[in-house]
Structures are given as C-alpha cells and as structure tokens.
C-alpha cells in the first residue's frame, strides 16, 4: 500500500507501507529511494513487522520542491509521516544520508515514538572532515562531486556506484542501481550533496536515548568505517556489528546477515 503524505503546504512525500506489526521506518541514502530496501521489504514483514519506506523529498515518487534538502527539513518530513500514520513503538533505520537524518529527527522531535534506532553505513555524524574530525571526504571532494553532477550526472552516478560495493555485483544489478540513482530529481541530488558537505551532526548524538544498532561495512569507501568509532562513543546505548565482506552497499552485499542482525536486535 502506498500513501502520499503532505509534509508542508503543497509538498507530499510517498510512503510504502507493507505488512502488519511493529513499524520499521526506513530512510534511504543519496541519491536513491526507498526501493533500495527491496530485500528488507520482502523479508521483514514475514516475521511480523510493518515495513514503512519513505521516499525523501526530491526522490522516488515524492514531490521535489526547490528547497528543503537540509537535515532539519528532511527530519521534519519524517516527523510529519510518523505523526500522520500515528505510529507507536517504532524502529527507525537510516542508510547513509538517511542515518544523520534519522539522528536529527530524534534530536529535533523529542515527542517521537521511536524505541530503537538502526544505522546502516551511516553518513554520520559528519560526512566530511572538520576540526577534530579527520574522517571522510574533504569538503572540496564534495565540491567536485557537485561539479560533475552539473556536467554529467549519469557519468558521475555510475562512478559513484563503482565505489559503492566491495563485492562484484552483476551487470544487471549495476544497471538497476544506476537507474535508481537517476530517478532522483537533479536539483535535489545537488542540494542534498551540499547538505552532506555542510551538515555537522556531532552534537545530535547526545540526543539519542534509545538502543541503537550500528551496521557498517569494513571496506566502505564512501562512509569510512572510522565513522563508527565516533557513533559508538557518542550514542550511549549502541552496539556495533562490522560487515567484513561489504563496502558501502552492505544491504546488498551481505543481505542475509543485515536482515538477521536487524531481526535479532528488534527481538531484544
């Protein structure tokens, strides 16, 4: 079942809503859509969970206004979805850019019904280097990405996909994954890259007061595994599971292990 939910006047986001039971809300990464969680959507409802996949504004089937691609606005959109669906005792999962957005949601909206947090290859707490945080890309590296998006978006996203995986994926899979990225609206893709470059979510970590599962690929070239040490230190009740055979795309490279770890965590 799909819902269109108005998150602000004249802006609606699309939400896939499958199964029954404890709600599991999934927030996708840059620059794809909720469809990246295909192998969670087909598995987790079998175990008595309700899969809720949000297409962030600008992506998938959601509206794409010119502005609002900062983490505060994206987190507000998540809050609008959670409120409209009247969710209770929900788990929130964020992949890559979806990770810091999920954390910002918990920081900004204290009246939330989230009882567990899952971070998958999260671009958190900061995607780029800054003072006392030597991890990730330099801001100039994201400037290069933005410049290439403006010149040759398909070429840039194909190169990005090439960095995404540690394992060899099939040609058909790589074509599908590129297409998923190309469904993102061009201006949303650029503005979200600017948010990834500029946002610093380190202060948000202290606002996470729920049990948190951190899943991260050891060979991640996009969100380095070093991020997890900062997350683990900053989130009081957190558990880290390393994925030895994955890059950034752990949900595709070690799908069965991802699903098993999520189910084990939800049942604790």
pLDDT, tens digit (0-9, with 9 covering 90-100), for 91-114: 999 999 999 999 999 999 999 999
Q: How far apart are the first and last CA of the chain?
A: 28
User: Distance between CA atoms of 268 and 209, rounded to whole angstroms?
Assistant: 16
Per DSSP (E only), the strands in the chain are: 2-8, 11-18, 22-27, 49-54, 90-95, 114-120, 212-217, 238-243
pLDDT in tens, 30-83: 999 999 999 999 999 999 999 999 999 999 999 999 999 999 999 999 999 999
CA neighbours closer than 13 Å in the CB half-sphere of residue 239: 13
Catalytic residues, by residue number, are 96, 220, 248
User: Distance between CA atoms of 2 and 12, rounded to whole angstroms?
Assistant: 12
Can you list the domains of the chain with their CATH numbers?
A: 2-266 (3.40.50.1820)
The answer to whether 223 and 196 have CB atoms below 8 angstroms apart is: no
The answer to whether 268 and 124 have CB atoms below 8 angstroms apart is: no
> Quick one: which of 138, 143, 180 has its CA closest to 158?
180
Q: What does the pLDDT average to over 199-216?
A: 98
pLDDT in tens, 121-149: 999 999 999 999 999 999 999 999 999 99
């Amino acid at each position: 079942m799909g819902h269109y939910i108005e998150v602000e006047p004249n802006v609606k986001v699309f939400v896939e809503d499958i199964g029954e039971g404890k709600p599991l809300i999934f927030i996708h990464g840059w620059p794809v859509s909720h469809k990246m969680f295909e192998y969670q959507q087909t598995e987790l409802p079998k175990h008595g969970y309700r899969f809720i996949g949000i297409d962030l504004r600008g992506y998938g089937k959601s509206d794409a206004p010119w502005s609002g691609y900062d983490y505060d606005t994206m987190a507000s959109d998540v809050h609008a979805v959670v409120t409209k669906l009247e969710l209770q005792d929900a788990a929130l999962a964020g992949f890559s850019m979806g990770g810091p957005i999920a954390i910002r949601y918990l920081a900004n909206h204290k009246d939330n019904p989230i009882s567990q947090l899952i971070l998958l290859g999260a671009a958190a707490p900061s995607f780029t280097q800054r003072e006392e945080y030597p991890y990730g890309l330099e801001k100039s590296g994201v400037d290069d990405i933005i410049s290439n998006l403006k010149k040759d978006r398909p070429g840039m996203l194909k190169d990005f996909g090439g960095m995404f995986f540690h394992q060899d994926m099939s040609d058909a899979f790589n074509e599908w994954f590129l297409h998923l990225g190309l469904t993102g609206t061009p201006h949303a893709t650029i503005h979200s890259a600017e948010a990834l470059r500029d946002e610093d979510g380190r202060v948000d970590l202290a606002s996470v007061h729920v049990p948190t599962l951190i899943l991260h690929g050891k060979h991640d070239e996009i969100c380095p595994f070093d991020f997890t040490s900062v997350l683990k230190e900053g989130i009081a009740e957190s558990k880290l599971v390393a994925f030895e055979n994955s890059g950034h795309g752990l949900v595709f490279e070690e799908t069965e292990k991802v699903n098993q770890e999520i189910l084990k965590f939800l049942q604790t």
